[in-house]
């Protein structure tokens, strides 16, 4: 099994697999961003599930985000981090001919 795949049980007792995109801190809590591996009812393709991470002894438990305000903040934090990570990956993949992006010429003559 792929180590980025998390299996959870939904409210009907059915097993559902998610790809773990990232765990991150926002405010005083940690959150996890999950992408359904297979289609789920009421989820659009590519829709991300954000859940709060809570500790129970040695285990992490994923719980629903309680308020719309908290969800919006956690979502915005995820988007910023994801964009940063994606941009870093793109920069690593680009062949810049040995030139750093900070070394771009600024000659306007």
Judge whether 21 and 2 are in contact, CB under 8 Å: no
pLDDT confidence of 38, banded at 50, 70, 90?
A: confident
CA distance 66 to 51: 9
What's the predicted TM-score (pTM) here?
0.74
Average pLDDT, the chain: 84
Higher pLDDT, 14 or 52: 52
Residues with Cβ within 8 Å of 39's Cβ and at least 6 positions away in sequence, in order, are 45
Structural domain boundaries in the chain: 5-93
**pLDDT tens digits for 63-101?**
999 999 999 999 999 999 988 877 766 666 664 554 554
**SS3 of residue 39 by DSSP:** coil
The contacts of residue 54 (CB under 8 Å, 6+ apart) are: 60, 61, 62, 63
* The pair of three-digit structure tokens given for residue 27, joined into one six-digit string: 């405010």
């Amino acid at each position: 099994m792929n180590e980025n795949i998390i299996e959870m049980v939904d409210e009907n007792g059915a097993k559902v697999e998610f790809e773990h995109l990232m765990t991150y801190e926002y405010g005083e809590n940690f959150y996890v961003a999950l992408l359904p591996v297979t289609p789920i009812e009421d989820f659009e393709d590519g829709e991300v599930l954000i859940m709060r991470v809570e500790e129970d002894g040695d285990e992490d438990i994923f719980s629903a985000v309680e308020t719309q305000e908290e969800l919006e903040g956690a979502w915005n934090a995820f988007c910023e981090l994801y964009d940063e990570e994606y941009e870093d990956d793109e920069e690593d993949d680009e062949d810049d001919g040995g030139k750093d992006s900070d070394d771009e010429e600024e000659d306007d003559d």
